[in-house]
Every structure is written in structure tokens, then in C-alpha cells.
Amino acid sequence: LARALQQRRPAVRISLPFAMGAALPKPVMSTVLERHGSKHFRVGLAELNGWRASMEDAHVVHLDDERCEGYFGILDGHGGADCSAWCSKRLQEQLAEEGCPTSDAATKKMVLDIDAAFLATGLT
């Protein structure tokens, strides 16, 4: 371990073409609150920008009373709102069309399919 530490290379600075979560001089403390309800669920959520210049995250709340099921998701914008907003909208549409996935494998397939569809749009 001591030898590996001695051979460690110095850190390299890289520049990115965007500033992920661009920081403000002081945090935005206003909060967006939402409430959703159905026969089987009561759900609340809150969005807070904090130090970011804009909200980059998105969320999904899908409630299906007929099947007594719900699907809840938080999509992190990671430097931009385009991906999280697009994927949130598509996820809502797919859940409305097909209902909630019935297994972990089906959930994984749904998410990966939506991810591939977003990448195909060229919006990245």
C-alpha cells in the first residue's frame, strides 16, 4: 500500500462544457409541493432547488385504483432537465398504457427501453 501511494499520479483538472447543478450565490428556498391521492394511496412530494439555478429533476407518480398499485419515481437531471423531463413523460405514458411492471425484470426492461429511446432522440 505504501508503495502504491508513492506511485500515485497527481490529479488532473478537466473542463466540462456545462456546470452540473450550477451554484447560486445563495440557495433558492421556495418549495413546490404536490399532493396526489386515490382510493388506495395518499402521496406528497416537495421540490427544492437549493443552490441550483434551476430544477433539473423530475418525478413520476402513477396511481392505479383498479389494480390497487402505484409507481413512484425520482429522476435526477444530472446537469440538465431535458433527459429527466423526457423520461418522466415517457414513463407516465407507458405506465398509463401498460400498467405497473409486475416483476423486477419487467421494471428493469421498462427503464432500459425508455433510456434507449431517449438516447435515440439525440437530445443528450
Question: Is 35 a residue whose pLDDT tops 90?
Answer: yes
Structure confidence by residue, pLDDT tens digits, 104-116: 999 999 999 999 9
Q: What is the pLDDT of residue 79?
A: 58
pTM of the model: 0.72
Q: What is the pLDDT of residue 5?
A: 46
Distance CA 97, CA 122 (A): 25
Pairing of strands 42-52, 23-37: antiparallel
CATH for 14-121 is 3.60.40.10
Distance CA 92, CA 99 (A): 10
Structure confidence by residue, pLDDT tens digits, 61-104: 999 988 889 999 999 887 578 999 999 999 999 999 999 999 99
Location of C-alpha cell 407507458: 94
Residue 95: what are its φ and ψ, rounded to 5°? Answer: -65, -40
SS3 15: coil
Q: What is the residue extent of each domain of the chain?
A: 14-121
Question: Is 3 a residue whose pLDDT tops 60?
Answer: no
What would the mean pLDDT of 5-31 be, rounded to a whole number? 62
What would the mean pLDDT of 33-40 be, rounded to a whole number? 93
Contact 43, 37 (CB under 8 A): yes
- The 3-state secondary structure of 46-104, one letter per residue: EEEEEEECCCCCEEEEEEECCCCEEEEEEECCCCCHHHHHHHHHHHHHHHHHHCCCCCH
